[in-house]
Amino acid sequence: MGDELCVFMKGAPEKILKRCSKILVGNQEVDFTDELRKEIGDAQASFGNLGERVLAFAKRSLPASKFNKGSYKFDIKGWKSWGLNPESQYSDYENQDGTWPMHNLTLVGVVSLNDPPRLKVDLSVNKCRSAGIKVIMVTGDQPATAGAIANKVNILKHPKKEFNYMHKELGLSEEDAWAQSTGVVVHGDLLAKKHLE
């Protein structure tokens, strides 16, 4: 055990969870079933709705037989060619020189962080609005967190009238939700996808 290396990965849950095939439960690695994924997703959403930032943490032990501390040459420059696609499996690239597992990881857990907005941002937003300025927030947070923070600082004044809430939670059609909504939270992945179309 002392000679084994371990890969650790942290980041946005929607990125990390896709790379996990197992989860740590009571110090045991078990299959990351749909039921457990739902439980983690519910916890993540609950934290996000409180305006808390959520990070996921995963790991994978590397067998010393292949990943020898002294002789294995990790390809730290070319990892993007095999490591970026979250849908991949380690078996897709394990025989390439220099690679290491960035998939089939074990989820260790999620952590929520309370990072409140700066004081008086809400007042500044109100002043901008009264001057006729449309305020838009750009953040790396998950949509639920972004929406909760936008609400705290008066950017999203009516969270129950946010497009996604009205469409997904209230079941309104996209057309009706657009017609009745007063704000929208757009995930960066959607913006990137639209930009590529």
Percent of the chain past pLDDT 70, that is, above it, reads: 98
Instruction: Give residue limits of the domains in the chain.
Output: 5-113, 121-196
Q: Tokens for 144, please give them.
A: 């639920």
pLDDT classification of 2: cutoffs 50, 70, 90: low
User: Which homologous superfamily is 5-113 in?
Assistant: Calcium-transporting ATPase, cytoplasmic domain N (3.40.1110.10)
* pLDDT tens-digit map of 57-82: 999 999 888 898 778 999 989 888 88
> Would you call 44 exposed, middle or buried from its count of C-beta atoms within 10 A (0-12, 13-18, 19+)?
buried
Q: Are 162 and 156 in contact (CB under 8 A)?
A: yes
Average pLDDT for residues 158-166, to the nearest whole number? 88
Q: Tokens for 67, please give them.
A: 């990943």
Write down the pTM of the prediction: 0.72
pLDDT classification of 159: cutoffs 50, 70, 90: confident
**Average pLDDT along the chain:** 89
